[in-house]
Each structure stands twice: as structure tokens, then as C-alpha cells.
Structure 1
Amino acid sequence: MSAAKNKLDTGLIRELAAILREGDLGEIEIEHDGLKLRVSRQSSHVVHAAVATPAPAYAPAAQAALPAPTGPGSVAVASAAPDNAVKSPMVGTVYLSADPQSKPYVNIGDKVKKGDTLMLVEAMKTFNPVEADRAGTVKAIYVQNAQPVEYGEPLVLIE
């Protein structure tokens, strides 16, 4: 990379921070010329910027299917996700229930309505609900409780 590309454009960061405020967003991530920039905020007054190098250009190995748990409130984890799966809206840690003593928001076979909470994603000490984008039946859950997730990672299949 040239020296010009290594220098951060603080004007761009300010513009992204303004978009966060105006759009009442929690986070914005862009990638341009191999530079990934994510601007997120913890509260309405604090804005953080993080710069990362691009990820390697190889595909991760397919996750092996785990044995299906048995018993009431069990959640089975599937190994491959179709394109229409509900995806993570952000990078964080996924939680399948409100707290460790509570039952999961959804299990495979549950009927859900559009807007129902499916799980939570914690990012920067904020718990963000992941809601059903359509009504249907939960056919697969692709994550485990307390698992780290990436933006766009498949979480749940609703058909």
C-alpha cells in the first residue's frame, strides 16, 4: 500500500459518524480498496472507529452438524444455511434466551410471526433483538448460545 492509502481520511469518519446520528444507527461498516472501516457508537455521545485489514480470500470450512439435543426446549444446530435464512444484523455474541435461566426465544418447529424476537445479539454491551422478517415455522437454528457471530452470518431458517 502506498503512504496515501495508509492515511485515514478523518473527514470520511466524520461523515459516517454524522450518518449514524442522523439515521439513529448503531453501526456502519464500509470496505473500499482493501480497507475495511467500521464506525459504531455505544451511546448517543460516543463514536468509535475501528480499522481492520481485509479477511483472507478463502472460504471457511463447512461446520459439521452437531448431534441433535433431546428433551424439552432443545435446540438443534444445522450445518448449511440457504440464502433466505435470517442473518445477523451485526458482529457480536448471540444469545438464544433472555438470560441463562430462561427458555430459548424459539425452538425448531415453533411458529413465529413477523417481528417476533428470535434471539439477541450483544454488541458493545448492548443487547439487540433479532426479529423474524416473515411469518412461518422455524426449520433450523444455525448458531449456539453465547457463540460469536459475524455480520450477515445465517442464524435461523424460517419457512
Structure 2
Amino acid sequence: MNIDLIQALAKILKDNQLSELTYQNGNRKLKLKQQLEKSIGRPEPPVSIENTSPQDEQKVITAPTIGTFYTSKSPSDPPFVSVGDHIEVGDTIGIIEAMKVMNEIKADKAGIIKEILVTNGQGVEFDEPIIQLA
């Protein structure tokens, strides 16, 4: 998780006077807490909660590292996966080049590829969604 995300979550916690906020993306989880002082007669502020299904979050494969994403071993090879392909846990879905090292990216979820969210040769950040599963 990057510092901008953590700062944004802390601002939501403070602005909405929440005592606790939990953020989860894949197997990464962050819990923020703050001590609130209760004022007698003061109404509680409204809390806005985004309705997201944990099932939707689980249907995304994210980049395990930063680097440049490649869809195949070389420009002349076919891509590892395409939209509509069924993948299993452990299948190679791409390569991320980081510091001149080619790292094969393995699927951590099974499913049918609904969308490939990054293009060949695109830079990716840690935990950035790269494949959406149906």
C-alpha cells in the first residue's frame, strides 16, 4: 500500500469521525483506529459507506511488484492469456520486468478472464489491478 492511499484513508476516518476503518485489497489488510470524544447533545455525523462486494474484490488479479508488464515472453510469442481464457491458480498470466529481472506472474485466483486491465509494455505499481476475472 502506498502512502497516498493510507493518507486518504486516514482523512476519511477523521472527516467522518469514525472510530475504526478497515481497508482490504486481496490478502493485504489495513486497520486504522482513532479515539473519539463524545459530546453530549451533539449529533453524530452521517457516514458514507461505499457498497462493494468482497466477491468483486476477489475477482481481480493484482501486480505483485512494480515494473513493466509484458503479455508474452517475447514480441513474437503469443500472449500468455487472452480475454475469455479460463485460468487456474498457478497459471502464468504475464511477466513483470523489474530491475532487468523478468518475473513470471502466476494467477492467485481461478476464473475466466473478463478484461486485461494493462497493456503490453505498460508500467505497473505494486497491487495495481492487472486482470479482471468474470
TM over 0.5: yes
The code of the aligned residue for 1:104 comes to: P
Q: Does residue 127 of structure 1 match 2:78?
A: no
> Which of these residues, 72, 79, 92, is aligned with residue 97 of structure 1?
72
Query: CA shift at 1:136, angstroms?
Result: 1.5
Query: CA shift at 1:55, angstroms?
Result: 4.9
Output the CA distance in 2 between the equivalents of 1:107 and 1:133. Answer: 17
State the match for 1:110 in structure 2. 85
**Could you say what secondary structure the match of 2:130 adopts?**
strand
State the match for 2:25 in structure 1. none
Query: CA shift at 1:123, angstroms?
Result: 0.4
Q: How many residues align?
A: 85
Output the CA distance in 2 between the equivalents of 1:108 and 1:143. Answer: 12
Output the CA distance in 1 between the equivalents of 2:102 and 2:74. Answer: 11
The code of the aligned residue for 2:124 comes to: V
Output the CA distance in 2 between the equivalents of 1:137 and 1:107. Answer: 10
> Which of these residues, 83, 102, 121, is aligned with residue 57 of structure 2?
83
The structure 1 segments of at least 4 consecutive aligned residues displaced by more than 6 Å after TM superposition are: none
The code of the aligned residue for 1:102 comes to: D
State the match for 1:148 in structure 2. 123
| Unaligned runs of at least 5 residues, structure 2 | 9-55
Contact between 2:61 and 2:109, CA under 8 Å: does it hold in 1?
no
Structure whose alpha-carbon radius of gyration is higher: 2
Give the alignment's TM-score, normalised by structure 1: 0.48
**Could you say what secondary structure the match of 1:118 adopts?**
strand
* Higher normalized contact order (CA 8 Å, seq sep 6+, divided by chain length): 2
Output the CA distance in 2 between the equivalents of 1:109 and 1:118. Answer: 13
Output the CA distance in 2 between the equivalents of 1:135 and 1:149. Answer: 21
| Unaligned runs of at least 5 residues, structure 1 | 1-29, 32-53, 59-81
**Could you say what secondary structure the match of 2:132 adopts?**
strand
